[in-house]
Structure 1
Amino acid sequence: MSYTIAFQTAKAGCESTTRLAIQLELVGGNGKPSGYYAVENIFEANTFKDKRDVYDITCDDVGLPIIIRFKLLNWCETDEWLCDFVTVEYNGQFAEFPIYDWIDSNVEVTRGEACIPQNVTNNQVKKLRLQEVAKNRSKFAWIPMPKPIDIGWGFPRHVNASTYQQLPKIFQRDEIRANHFVGSGFEIDLNSVFQDIGKTAKSINKLEDYKALYASLPPKGEKQPNLNDWYTDKAFVQHVLNGVSPLCFKRCNAIPPTARITNMDVALILDDHTTIEGEIRAGKIFIADFHETLKGVPRVKHYATGNPLHCQDCIGLFYVNNSRRCVPLAIQLVPGSRDHVFTPNDRKEDWLLAKMYFRCAQSNMHQWIENLLDTHLVLEPFAVSVFRCLPRSHPVFKLLRPFLRMVPAKNTDVRTSLLPPHALSSQGISICKSAAHLARKAYRTFKLSDLNIPLQLRKNGTDDPNFLPNYQYRNDVVGHWKIMEKYVNSVIRHYYKSDVDVGRDFELHAWAKDVAKEGLGWQSSDTKGMSEKLTTINQLVEICVILMFTSTVQHAAVNSGQFENYKFIPNSPLGMRLPPHKKGEANESRILNSLPDNVMSATAIAISYKLSSISPNEVYLGQFPERLFTEQKIIDIQHNYMSDLQALEAKIKARNSKLDHPYTFLLPSRVPNSIAI
């Protein structure tokens, strides 16, 4: 019987081609194999990158195959092949076999239709799924249980790789991404940017001199106009509401005991005939309280003087007045100290410097908790386990893979280049050598539901536009969440017809248990709200949305704007050189001596620049270059998802056209489809 076989070699894989002989066997629905047939002459095989090779073979008639088997004959050399997919034509019928993986010897692949395990009727396919998972549990092994001296202690567990080169190859960047990061050397690339900034650095005699530090770097995306008025209260509030740390505040239900802010302090800011207590009851006061989280976390010492850098355990109050404008109410830099309470009514130098200390605390919280912990580290157990426990034909694997595959690569960069005590970041960030301390402290109370952003907005009391206007981050993430939830719900319900189907999916339960016990709760048996057994469709949908949303929309919200946020150091310093001032002590000299010096500034700018980098071949939300799902119904669902995103994009652009400070970070066309930077 004649079969036409087409192979698609990956476009962007590092060394994705092979020069070895490829042999192929087809397996029919009745389990009958065709026997192996060479599709290239031995020692003459030469697949080319991004090339579609088509071959006609004549073999026993097995019908339309349900399994294909490969052999790479590497008798004289070692080689690998990154294959995207294979198609088989038989009597006018087509079968598609998605692979999107490296083949180094032998591999078996089932046909592209996704299926939950209890619905698999073919014994050959059942056996293959079990063999695939058994092999992957070894290939994607967990790192051995970390000890207190290890960087992984107190964190979610990660894949068994201490360096980027040790990662399973499917977790590594493709060729274009790798070249964008100077091979895989993130640390080398980071130091290169740092050196480039240092070559153009000049002495800093006034605040505007800080702009020269980043002038030589190419821009990242649109220029954000808020730098023109960075010193104003309007821009300050804009950064709090719609900057890279948009979950740092919540509605205030009571003034904390350590706060010494009185009605007299803010009498000229509150509306007439009102008090702090009355406006709290009215839901009009919001608070950013960094005190409990930052308390007790060591600060680093200055790279040259040895003096401690400063990042205050501060508190900020914000107020929505009768004009529906959110304005800063007060900042307290030292818990319990009246001498360190500042308001917009104070001398402009005192107030400006107080805002700088507040932004420093917010920036450290952002880097190590909102960005590192709450998007990067907590996703890695899910990324590792989805490859360990789910076969490639499982619908949840197909759904989650594009959003999670690159997480281990970036996290490995962080563990090797940003967290170690000797890292470049220790020169410019107040909380750096103790960053792991801060993130571990936050992880102790972390729950998976913390990543359900609409739920967090409700808990924070920031979900209602009637109480908190101009919170564009909230408006956009709620729109994204609804669209993603609709997409996930449609895909999941195509395969799971009832809660009973979820309860009977033993592969899914193995994944959930592996994540909960080995990934999240390995150290204390606290599974962080991740159930070891999923029982309902709604539960499965919520978890999938959380993972996909965190790796895309939420990561874009806290990462994409880093360079624009941090490049002008007075706007968002990551470390302060002097202790906080008291009322009346601030002047231009004190401000300049408190802010970072050239080396500290160059460090912060280099880090934010590299962390904001986008690969030339970036995949964005709603794009599916990997055809993992082959069923037309799911492809139609994906098209509907893309249409919904396009409608959201138009809505955001229409709103932004009316704003002085457009919020562009969550335009769907700018949201990468995974954490890859």
Structure 2
Amino acid sequence: MYLTTLLLLANIYTTISAQTSNDSSSSYVLPLYDPAPLDRRQRVAKNQQGYLYGESLLGNLSFFPTGQLGDALVAKEASLWTSEAELFESIVHLEAQEVATALLKVSNASTTPSTSSTQELASFFALYRNQWQDSNPDGLDVGAYTNFTQDLYFSMERLSVNPFSLSRISPNQTLPFKLANNVTMAITGTTLSKLQLAGRMFVVDHSDFADLPRQPGKYSASSTAFFFIHPESGDFLPLAIKTNEGADLIYTPLDSANDWFLAKTLFESNEAVFVDMFHLSATHAVAEIVHQAALRTMADQHPIRGLLDLIMYRAYAVRLAGSTSLFNAGGLVDQNFAFNASTVLGWNSRLYQNVLGRFQTNYFERWFTDHGLINSSYGPALTHFPFYEDVKPVVDSMRVFIEAFVRSYYPTDDLISQDTELQAWIVEANGPAQVLDFPPAPLTSRTTLVDILTHMTYLTGVLHHALNSGAYAASWHLPLHPIAHYQPLPTSKGVKSVLPFLPNATHAINQIALLNSFNRPSYKYDGLNLPALFSNPTFLARANNDTQAAAARFQTSLTKLSAVNQAKSFDRDGLSQGMPFIWRTVDPMRLPSFLSM
């Protein structure tokens, strides 16, 4: 069935690519070199009248397109998105039914339920083994079946699956909670204060979930967690998790296996909400509004507009689809999350306005520097940082292409200043579009333009997929990662079993189906993966020779990076990049070249 699925999807994508090609066959040209400047200015004026800023659709995020041209663009892209989504959702639905049938057979055949806590938890993998082979043919991360209860597995997910909630604690920072010295000594070999003064402590703080109401029958923590770099081994490990809910218990690795694993699942449930909303705000909402400003100020034969149109392929279908199936009343968020959609969107709106909507603040290197994960002025460097290790060479390759592209159209900085459409875009972004923390007008250097375009390509081509379509199918597996819990949080330690708190078979299948629906495994076969991003035939046909050559180099570079990713294996200590699992999410051949979901 999988080959048939690939062929069907590839046919759809080929059709979509043909339908969404730019109708104009003219080469990209700057406005000061355009032989028909009056006609060009008239078309830009029509864009300003036809592309308008509308309501966000999903909370208080950036504007969403409206107006005659905006509505037509959204309708076109929504139609193309639907043709793909309907097929893939039918595949996931069929697979969910197959898993339910298989579980029923196993349940009927079993007469001796396990009394081992570890075996109870491992039973969740019956939900995955030899299942979901069309929606997730690559399966779970290698090591997930065997090592998911390890503390190193849990902590290193913070440095791979989601490093964006993590920050290093400065030596003079007030700690959100304290631990007894004997507890800290037993886990770390030193005191809490010495650990902090040495710059070895890190925190993830989801305590702002505390004020969010839960849905009936569902429960959640609003956890705060400490992690640390071990003074002797250098390993990045968990130290404590405080629930901030119910009895507000503090759990550590010194607690029983059941208590500690439950605490980790409560933390991961908070992480699931954070990651889902982070991806929506930091990628979709930011990239869309920057592009909308370009639609209103640039002619379609402007090279910068051409690049932005390319990386924003089919982008405006996603927020619309989210408003009608994910975040609608009774939709998939309400069905699966502990918080309802309205609550989540309200919380996310604050996150966007205060943090994630800020353009320059969220540059790749700057984010991790500001949060103490790289280039820290205090404390030792992380021995391993898999997310940074895998993403940096991809972003570097993007920057190399962008630099060649920009310099091919702007041999000098003076041309930047003379480009009226480019300058109008910067003014629009800072003004009517209300892009937060965007580089100010006037734009005077090619370096700043390279920064802008590299960040846009990172958002749409890497960050989105690392947190969403590339990650969910592999990394967010049960039993470690429930989206919600189904029993009230314990009033004391000493739980006999974690299972009553976790999703039952029906809830578990629904969760897996939801997460797998974000996956698009066939992209690596149909020319819509990341290495092919700048090799789009329509884009290349309009681009100059230097851009065409740079696109070929980019494709070669990312193909080599994919081979490196695929060659990952365990070392003699049973680790890959310091982790007891093999993380292949940022494999360029598996990443879409656009905001797919």
Q: Does 2:85 match 1:181? A: yes
- Counterpart check, 1:411 vs 2:301: no
Distance 1:477 1:574, change over 3 A: same
Picking from 467, 475, 485, the partner of 1:565 is: 475
How many angstroms apart in 2 are the aligned matches of 1:200 and 1:368?
33
Residue 249 of structure 1: aligned partner: 166
- Identify if the C-alpha distance between structure 1 residues 110 and 235 changes in structure 2 by more than 3 Å, giving closer, same or farther: closer
Partners in 2 of 1:13 and 1:222 — Cα distance?
23
Any conservation in 2 of the 1:567–1:604 contact (CA below 8 Å)? no
Question: How far has the Cα of 1:468 moved from its partner?
Answer: 0.8
Match of 2:585? 665
Aligned to 1:285: 201
Whole-angstrom CA distance in 1 between matches of 2:20 and 2:492:
66
1:348 pairs, out of 235, 257, 261, with 257
1:455 aligns with 2:343: no
Shift of 1:289: 1.5
- Secondary structure at the aligned position of 2:368 is classed as helix
Mapped pair 1:294 → 2:209: yes
User: Do structure 1's residue 509 and structure 2's residue 423 form an aligned pair?
Assistant: yes
Distance 1:161 1:612 in 2: 32
1:637 maps to which residue?
Answer: 550
Could you tell me whether the CA contact under 8 Å between 1:300 and 1:431 is conserved in 2? yes
Q: 1:160 aligns with which of 66, 69, 78?
A: 66
d(CA) in 1 for partners of 2:212, 2:229 = 29
Listed as ranges, the matches of 1:165-564 within 5 Å are 167-168=73-74, 171-172=77-78, 174=80, 178-182=82-86, 202=104, 206-214=120-128, 216-218=131-133, 219-228=136-145, 229-243=147-161, 245-253=162-170, 256-271=174-189, 274-291=190-207, 293-302=208-217, 308-334=218-244, 340-369=249-278, 371-433=279-341, 434-446=343-355, 447-463=358-374, 467-520=381-434, 527-559=436-468, 560-564=470-474
Taking a change above 3 Å as real, the CA distance of residues 539 and 336 of structure 1, as seen in their structure-2 partners, is: farther
Contact 1:220 1:613 in 2 (8 A): no
1:21-170 map, 5 Å: 82=19, 84=21, 100-101=22-23, 109=24, 111-112=26-27, 114-120=28-34, 122=35, 125-143=36-54, 145=55, 151-160=57-66, 167-168=73-74
| Post-superposition CA distance 1:141-166 (Å, at most 9, x none) | 332x56xxxx444111112299x996
Q: 3-state SS of the aligned residue for 1:593?
A: helix
Equivalent residue letter for 1:270: T
In the aligned structure 1, how far is the partner of 2:550 from the partner of 2:263?
Answer: 51
Using the TM superposition, give the Cα deviation of residue 650 of structure 1 relative to its aligned residue in structure 2, in angstroms.
Answer: 4.4
Q: CA deviation at 1:467?
A: 1.7
Gap regions ≥5 residues in structure 2? 1-9, 114-119
Contact 2:240–2:252 (8 Å) recurs in 1: yes
Q: Which has the larger radius of gyration?
A: 1
Please give the secondary structure, in 2, of the residue aligned with 1:575. coil
Where 1:668 maps in the other structure, the secondary structure is: coil
1:253-279 CA-to-partner distances (Å, cap 9, x unmatched) read 2564541323222211213xx322222
Greater helix proportion: 2
Letter in structure 2 aligned against 1:329: L
| Deviations 1:624-657 (CA, angstroms, capped at 9, x unpaired) | 1233243222111212222332443344455556
Q: Counterpart of 1:596?
A: 503
Q: Relative contact order, CA 8 A, sep 6+: which one is greater?
A: 2
Q: Which runs of 5+ in 1 are unaligned?
A: 1-9, 17-48, 51-81, 85-99, 102-108, 303-307, 522-526
Q: TM-score by structure 2 length? A: 0.83
Q: Is the 8 A contact 2:59 2:348 kept in 1?
A: no
SS in 1 for 2:261: helix
The Cα shift of 1:404 comes to 0.9
Equivalent AA in structure 2 for residue 327 of structure 1? L
Secondary structure, aligned partner of 2:52:
coil
SS of 1:328's equivalent? strand
Q: Which amino acid aligns with 1:160?
A: T
Q: Which residue of 2 aligns with 1:54?
A: none
Q: Which moved more, 1:343-352 or 1:384-393?
A: 384-393
What is the alpha-carbon distance in structure 1 between the residues aligned to residue 406 and residue 152 of structure 2?
Answer: 44
Could you tell me whether the CA contact under 8 Å between 2:417 and 2:443 is conserved in 1? yes
Describe the SS at the equivalent of 1:317: strand
Q: Give the whole-Å Cα distance in 1 for the aligned partners of 2:13 and 2:194.
A: 62
Summarize deviations over 1:405-447 as a string: whole Å, max 9, x none.
2211122111211112221221211134212012112012121
Residues 220 and 564, structure 1, Cα contact 8 Å, conserved in 2: no
Residue 341 (structure 1) shift: 1.2
Change (3 A) 1:627 1:345: same
RMSD over aligned Cα atoms: 3.3
Give the partner amino acid of 2:197: R
Aligned equivalents of 2:439, 2:92: Cα separation in 1: 35
Following TM superposition, by how much is the alpha carbon of 1:531 offset from its aligned partner in structure 2, in angstroms? 3.1
User: What's the offset of the Cα at 1:235?
Assistant: 1.5
Alpha-carbon separation, structure 2, partners of 1:139 and 1:450: 31
**Letter aligned with residue 381 of structure 1:** I
CA 1:601–1:336: 2 relative to 1, 3 Å: closer
Q: Pick the structure with more strand per residue.
A: 1
Which SS does the other structure have where 2:592 is aligned? coil
Question: 1:530 Cα deviation (Å)?
Answer: 4.9
Cα separation, 2, equivalents of 1:561 and 1:486: 26
Moved more, 475-484 or 192-201: 192-201
